[in-house]
Structure 1
């Protein structure tokens, strides 16, 4: 067996994922209690905000701020609905024979195809994924085939596949990007189930043991498992950092700081890549509404479900095209003849797409399956981690990935919104609505970011007065909201993640603009090696916001010092507080732009210098 090439992640091979969050009925009850209180306090505040606190001398400023608060509150309602309760699907023992999950009487072992789609990634990197896929075990006789789906049609990738003894599948074009690659893989395989990985996805040996049992329910179409990045920097404790810089004095000073504020780790996962909040909280709690969508890598699909829904969607598209082209023909016989002739042409010109041809093919395909009223397919988020992946290694890579997610989801929302069609239940639509709404957040985040800056510079307030009545309505809502948020995500520290989401506003706006202008959202393979240099050019909007926040607070303080005024002091405290929060959020992303991995050269990572300004747009 060929030795594996050393990569930077080789030193992290022994890392193990955390177990899924344990269900705690007491915490859930407290969360539901606080969430309910938050909703009522929010309604009370928003109602009062519109009725009694608008600044009628500056409605052009006050109304947009109040509208932004209202839109944000709608997002809160959708978030509360999503997180309301945990309802895990009980795990069943792995099936022994096909008849236990396919219900067609076939008395033979199961067959599973493991897909490893690739395009430009290093074949030696994929060798790791191939070997882990081949190490998947099962307690019964089973037919497991590993397939490398190479959209790059590379001789070196074919050679690796042959050396490892797995099937190599390629095609002459890249139509449909990853979705087209998966379709081509399906056309050349016939397994009962399909496991979808990415080129850097390392599947654990227990994957099939822990997921195939769910398919004892004949209505389960796919099972998604959490994605886990095993290479994220674990960081260095503050005492060690200060000791290296200042010796023993630095070490004891840092320990004194930690005594007050708790343990501090620096250089820890600068991009907040850990997706535990998304998988273990948000997506997991969608199980109760049958709305847990597919996220691609780390998922297993019932082949028959994917093909059945694809054929039904294909038929619906053809019928819609025929009806549209023939709607102006009023003579019944001639209309029937026209429709018969059109049916063949439309059928030939329409693509059969088991996985929708889209930059976000995973969520798009989930929508097709969820809205299939004739079959009512189910989806499941299995809470245990069954694979490991590589995280984004620099801000450019991370931003590119997030841009793709945002643009793909917004494209579906604007041009093929499932909420406008029948098929899904109300509970499912509410869950998808939260996903769509979250990507609209930059619209009101820009207002939240700009309002305190403008108020400090201009002296114009977005509220009629910073009165006792104002704080009596606002503070209970904010405090209860923070408490509910902590309880709703109990076990996951997402404080820094919230700041990063706020700071990402400029990238989401770029994605929104690209979709509105109907620019093609091209699929770009996420790089698996680090780009050189820093990435400050990507965070110019964040640097600008930070500078404006600092200047605005300074200007407001000087004005108050030169002309003391109790009302201006209150406005300075309120707007200065929000400007400080916004400014700190920007520093999180700016720090990520400057971050460099430790000992990058000695770790054996290949370095690229491919960053181009404006590439995200």
Structure 2
């Protein structure tokens, strides 16, 4: 039995459908986005030329810089979301020749290797994934082989694998972590396509039937499917939650609140794990630029593309090593040329030192490998974000797990930005560069988000203003920008609640700053397996910075209101109101992650019985 079976009660859940395509809505989004950009540009220009407080430039300039940086991020985000494509499922290929026309064995059935990468997860959890993979269907004869890639080298994992009739693969070291695990498995397998699964991935029967059709295009290198966390808490309606605490009066208050702002659910998705914004909006709208990147689990890869990219990268790296050694030899020996025999020895040594790996040995191996494939201009490899959920997996169960995962994403992306910036990588098209720039730029946002969080606190506590005056002219520039921006984003992400993602983006600042500092210091971001079971403990220590924002904003609001009543300060009524509202928005964003630190999942029936027995 699985050690922690709380999620078994979610087995009957079905994933939400993909967001439908609408040409009318897309045109409206593009119109509103352009309008917001024009008004935003007007606002930024005015901020620099007509609104800076000359008596507090130390405050005014950093805030204006932060607003400018955020506007640049907005430009990139609009470019990312600019265009969508209608949903279309390609016809499943019947034989290998349908996806590889030049292959000598074009008449044989397609072969697929389904790979589950595991390290220390519960073998019984992996068993569920194996059983689901065995249920995959296909309209034509197909050779599906399931492999368990166990980097933990556990006898119990081997036993489960053999009981389910799958192939057990392990290795003597953990070099390269997940990327190294996949590389070793590719040496042991021969499928035409690879399905990459994490230990908790549960593939649906339609996964291959709905995705292999994209590979009719011989340049299609990989297809990513949306990741869906099937165990996300559904939460409770606000009236029901308040009724539990305060009885009938609480229920009435809850209904009153919902009449004003609409339905409110408490406890839904406490860690903002629902990835619909990322997959249904951000990733899907990169298809037009051939810039949707691989996200690991739930992706299908053409073996030829992955191996060819590995060989090209291997050859390029060997050449770089050879040039470096040749330069050192010529400088030290003061000879113009190196003898052919020595050059051959240098090349041999460089080839022996370099590691041939299909997936980059990196904490963010999925996006890194995507960049390598996309930049292969000679082959012109393509990618596709498939719109339909084809598997399910477990969400992070606690704030510690969420923190480990998010830090890995941020640190890994920033490491690529610093050491192999895709903006300057040969082979990528301009749209692809901008799409990758959008991703990496977003991880720099904590640098200016921290200014947005503490700017209203500073004004409320001191009365020092970053603008010349909170006048009608100020609001005349600001409010149209905020309104048009909100309208544009609402239409662009129609069908998805965008506020939780925006709040998480803002509340991410301590972890983001830590990742930036780690990379600036030259430290290596190590790979840590995301736990698949809930970690025990008090997680409030992880949200001290967010708590500080909350407390300081509240203290500032009380102080500023008192200052207005008493007088004798530089506070203005319009400035206090504007900054309290600004601070309130920040506090609401911070509260989400603070609540996540104290959230506890519903107790499973099994756990309840154990407690009673004890």
Q: TM-score range by the shorter chain?
A: over 0.9
Deviation at 1:255, TM superposition (A): 2.6
Matched, 1:311 2:311: yes
Aligned with 2:116: secondary structure?
strand
- Contact preservation (8 Å) 2:464, 2:570: no
CA distance in 1, matches of 2:299, 2:86: 17
2:91 to 90, 93, 98: 93
Deviation at 1:265, TM superposition (A): 1.2
Superposed, 1:54-69 pairs within 5 Å as 54-69=52-67
- Contact preservation (8 Å) 1:88, 1:288: no
Deviation at 1:243, TM superposition (A): 3.0
Superposed, 1:422-571 pairs within 5 Å as 422-563=426-567, 568-571=572-575
Aligned to 1:413: 417
Deviation at 1:79, TM superposition (A): 0.2
2:21 to 20, 23, 43: 23
2:586 to 582, 589, 600: 582
Deviation by residue 1:133-183 (Cα, 9 ceiling, x = unmatched):
111111111110000000000001000001111000000000000000000
Distance change >3 Å, CA 55–CA 333, structure 1 → 2: closer
Aligned to 2:404: 400
Aligned with 2:458: secondary structure?
helix
Moved more, 67-76 or 522-531: 522-531
2:597 to 565, 569, 593: 593
Superposed, 1:27-42 pairs within 5 Å as 27-42=25-40
CA distance in 1, matches of 2:167, 2:397: 30
Aligned to 1:205: 205
Deviation at 1:494, TM superposition (A): 1.7
Deviation at 1:252, TM superposition (A): 3.8
Aligned with 1:147: secondary structure?
strand
Matched, 1:380 2:378: no
Deviation at 1:242, TM superposition (A): 2.9
Aligned with 2:384: secondary structure?
strand
Aligned to 1:76: 74
CA distance in 2, matches of 1:353, 1:259: 57
Unaligned residue ranges in structure 2 (runs of 5+): none
- Contact preservation (8 Å) 2:463, 2:571: no
Superposed, 1:259-278 pairs within 5 Å as 259-278=259-278
Deviation at 1:240, TM superposition (A): 2.2
Aligned to 1:613: none
Matched, 1:111 2:115: no
- Contact preservation (8 Å) 2:87, 2:387: no
Unaligned residue ranges in structure 1 (runs of 5+): 608-617
Matched, 1:169 2:151: no
Deviation at 1:518, TM superposition (A): 2.0
Deviation by residue 1:450-503 (Cα, 9 ceiling, x = unmatched):
111111222111111112221111111111011111011111002122112211
- Contact preservation (8 Å) 1:117, 1:149: yes
- Contact preservation (8 Å) 2:408, 2:527: yes
Deviation by residue 1:60-116 (Cα, 9 ceiling, x = unmatched):
111111000000000000000000010257432111101110121421000000000
Matched, 1:285 2:289: no
Moved more, 335-344 or 505-514: 335-344
| CA RMSD after TM alignment | 1.8
Deviation at 1:564, TM superposition (A): 7.5
Aligned to 1:614: none
Distance change >3 Å, CA 175–CA 76, structure 1 → 2: same
CA distance in 2, matches of 1:420, 1:254: 53
Deviation at 1:257, TM superposition (A): 3.0
Structure-2-length-normalised TM-score: 0.96
- Contact preservation (8 Å) 2:21, 2:85: no
Aligned with 1:300: secondary structure?
strand
CA distance in 1, matches of 2:546, 2:575: 24
CA distance in 2, matches of 1:263, 1:136: 38
Distance change >3 Å, CA 90–CA 339, structure 1 → 2: farther
Aligned with 2:40: secondary structure?
helix
Deviation at 1:594, TM superposition (A): 0.7
- Contact preservation (8 Å) 1:130, 1:164: yes
Aligned to 1:215: 215
CA distance in 1, matches of 2:77, 2:609: 40
- Contact preservation (8 Å) 2:422, 2:437: no
Aligned to 1:611: none
Distance change >3 Å, CA 89–CA 352, structure 1 → 2: farther
Deviation at 1:374, TM superposition (A): 1.4
- Contact preservation (8 Å) 1:8, 1:604: no
Aligned to 2:363: 359
Deviation at 1:404, TM superposition (A): 0.6
